[in-house]
């Protein structure tokens, strides 16, 4: 099972948190479709390449703009959730009545 997970991570089908990347799966499907076309015309190929370049540029721009801020925000949200979980647990423990 671990080998399968590492293979899927290498192919970028799943990420480090073992979440499936639908974008990469769609990209592989589109690439397979383009490669299996009997007649590959220039218009189709240029459209596919332009779409890939646009996606990568947008991905790079979002990574440069908010990479560190996104990580900090995620850490803050996780800390708030953990705090709420401990408070909820404390409330549940206080409301429980002992069974006879």
> Which pLDDT tens digit goes with each residue over 14-69?
877 888 878 778 888 888 888 888 887 888 888 888 888 887 887 777 777 655 55
What pLDDT sits at residue 18?
Answer: 80
Provide the 3-class DSSP secondary structure of residue 20: strand
- pLDDT(4) > 80: yes
Measured CA distances, 10 to 3, 15, 25, 89 (Å): 10, 9, 13, 40
Model pTM?
Answer: 0.47
> Which pLDDT tens digit goes with each residue over 76-96?
888 888 888 777 777 677 655
CB count within 10 Å of CB 3 equals: 7
Sketch the domain layout of the chain as residue ranges. Answer: 1-63
Question: Radius of gyration (Cα) for the chain, nearest Å?
Answer: 23
Report residue 12 CA to chain centroid gap. Answer: 10
């Amino acid at each position: 099972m671990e080998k399968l997970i590492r293979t899927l991570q290498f192919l970028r089908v799943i990420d480090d948190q073992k979440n499936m990347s639908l974008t990469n799966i769609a990209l592989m499907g589109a690439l397979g479709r383009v490669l299996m076309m009997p007649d590959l015309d220039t218009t189709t190929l240029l459209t596919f390449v332009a779409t890939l370049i646009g996606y990568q540029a947008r991905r790079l721009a979002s990574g440069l703009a908010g990479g560190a801020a996104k990580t900090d925000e995620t850490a803050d949200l996780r800390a708030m959730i953990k705090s709420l979980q401990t408070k909820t647990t404390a409330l549940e423990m206080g409301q429980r009545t002992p069974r006879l």
